[in-house]
Structure 1
């Protein structure tokens, strides 16, 4: 009787472990998301508003572009269109992400309360000096942006979105 109980307990434990592994394998990590996945997560239906924020302290951002305003809806539609046609950048590494200085960032507020951010992408090279200190040199990755939130972390090539974030949004005011 004791052997049957132990065997049953062992089978039950294996079943629970395999079920957990199967469910975890279905969850997408930020690295598995593609530009297409991003465009599916950010749609005209689920975006409430967007705004360009950040920059140097005291710098003025854009007005808040809201979906229920005609001009706001046009801007949101344009940004989502560029995201939909963006191409994923291969060979992404952590050093290519991250903020550089005081970036201007597109802050997209969604209906579900989540916020997604888009900023210019940078190529960074870190170097360890002979004295053990380090230096990091970053240059803008022309035509590329970095998109992130708690679910997404990806870099895409979108020259039009890059140019709009770099300076085009200023003309929208």
Structure 2
């Protein structure tokens, strides 16, 4: 009798454990899925955060097109004849040069061919000093051939070598290549005549919006179109960023339109302020290059 009871008890125990295990399986699946998904989410956020990390290696950020112009403290360009120029982020006009160079780097293409040669004394050499004290050098890419037992090296059109310590990457950027060869010598420490005229016109029309808009004078842009082809009547479109955004935080963007006629005078037709615009939008507003 006791043996029969033991056998029945054992069967009931096994059945009960089997049912319990089946009931718990979905919970275990949910548990695994929850923590696995959280791990994936954390990994994605870590990748996004790494792109924002100013201490991330320069070449890593270059390959992900995530360089920021304010990560660069200064740019020095020197020719093999000894001519050189320094552009600093602490100078309002020179800062635009930093924006331009970083924009070209972010929009460059990787060249997967072998880096043939790096000259000790290239025709022009660009040195970037970064906020994290890294020093990056950029120089034209060269191709060398031996002719009559003499090595002749010529620059590879549109191609550059970027060096970080002993690591080198070959890039193609026609705009940066042209600037490194010639353009840096022609950079103006101040506004061009066209920019001075644009600022004067912008200030004239901004005045008619009233004093509450006086902070919007960063990176002004203005476009003037005749109304129905009449040279006496024009429609003015203006835009600019607020100066306070330059000292931290996000920029606000002002856009307005005004009809200007020597028959009826000035009339404001539209005014709009866009709060906390993205960094991409602010750079687009300030960009004066392709």
Q: Given the two structures, how large is their TM-score scaled by the length of structure 2?
A: 0.41
Deviations 1:73-125 (A, max 9, x none): 100000000001111112223x2x30164421111001111110111111123
RMSD across aligned positions (CA): 2.4
Q: 2:163 aligns with which of 148, 151, 154?
A: 148
Deviations 1:146-165 (A, max 9, x none): 11121641111100001000
Q: 1:137 aligns with which of 131, 152, 158?
A: 152
Higher deviation after alignment, 45-54 or 69-78: 45-54
Match of 2:63 in 1: 37
Match of 1:22 in 2: none
SS in 2 for 1:48: strand
**Cα drift, residue 54 of structure 1:** 3.9
Q: Given the two structures, how large is their TM-score scaled by the length of structure 1?
A: 0.66
SS in 2 for 1:68: coil
1:38–1:83 contact (8 Å) kept in structure 2: no
Q: 1:68 aligns with which of 90, 113, 116?
A: 90
Distance 1:92 1:35 in 2: 21
Query: Which runs of structure 2 are paired with 1:5-154 in the superposition (5 Å)?
Result: 36-37=62-63, 39-40=65-66, 42-56=67-81, 59-62=82-85, 64-93=86-115, 95=116, 97-99=117-119, 101-126=121-146, 135-150=150-165, 152-154=167-169
2:70–2:89 contact (8 Å) kept in structure 1: no
Stretches of structure 1 that go unaligned for 5 or more consecutive residues are 1-32
1:35–1:83 contact (8 Å) kept in structure 2: no
1:100–1:138 contact (8 Å) kept in structure 2: no
Q: 1:164 aligns with which of 168, 179, 187?
A: 179
SS in 1 for 2:69: coil
- CA 1:34–1:136 in structure 2 vs 1: closer, same or farther (change >3 Å)? farther
Rg bigger for which structure?
2
> After TM superposition, what 4+ stretches of structure 1 lie above 3 angstroms from structure 2?
33-36
Stretches of structure 2 that go unaligned for 5 or more consecutive residues are 1-58, 189-290
